[in-house]
Amino acid sequence: MMVRQVVIDTNVFVSALRSRRGASHRLLLLLGGPDFQMNLSVPLVVEYEDVAKRMTQETGLSAADVDDIIDYLCSIARLREIHFLWRPVLKDSGDDHVLELAVEAECDVIITHNVRDFAGAERFGITAVTPGEFLRSIGGSS
């Protein structure tokens, strides 16, 4: 069985940092396991870091904690370089880099809380799903 390749949108990463409850946090706890493989690019890592460090008071994490989490993600993820830009595809051009990573990494899933923002991804064989939907699809609880 092939391991599913996924991209996790920044809003899911942020939700997981904000609360230990919910599907986003459960999803991050499963990273590095056998059910799926996370893919990252430099633009997505920079976005994760920027948003998480702006939210340190809200999450209770220090900047060093954020660095540690991102270092861990980089150590377990497939790191991909983007060689071709598909822009503009999505209604929010700020999400195009997430789609480009998913195309480059041959993902079938983008995990996001903003599924509607990824209308158009299906042209590349990619489906946008919520964390709960993805967990159900791999047999995890949501």
Structure tokens at 71: 């270092």
CATH code at 4-137:
3.40.50.1010
Phi, psi dihedrals of residue 127, rounded to the nearest 5°: -110, 135
Give the residues across from 43 on adjacent strands. Answer: none
pTM, full prediction:
0.92
Give, for 95, the enclosing helix (H) or strand (E): none
What are the DSSP calls for 75-137, one per residue?
Answer: HHSEE--------S-SSSGGGHHHHHHHHHTT-SEEE-S-GGGGTTGGGGT-EEE-HHHHHHH
Give the residue, 134 or 91, on which the prediction is more confident. 134
- Residue 93: band (very low, low, confident or very high) from pLDDT cuts 50, 70, 90: low
- Residue 11's closest CA among 134, 131, 140, 133? 131
Is residue 1 scored above 70 in pLDDT? no
Q: Which of helix, strand or coil describes residue 102? A: helix
Interval 103-129: pLDDT, tens:
999 999 999 999 999 998 999 999 999
Comparing 11-15, 24-28, 77-81, 87-91, the range with the smallest average pLDDT is 87-91
Is residue 45 scored above 70 in pLDDT? yes
Is residue 136 scored above 90 in pLDDT? yes
Q: What is the pLDDT of residue 40?
A: 98
Per-residue pLDDT averaged across 66-84, rounded? 92
Distance CA 43, CA 101 (A): 9
Q: Where exactly are the structural domains of the chain?
A: 4-137
Length, in residues, of the chain:
142
Q: Which of helix, strand or coil describes residue 62? A: coil
Q: How far apart are the first and last CA of the chain?
A: 23
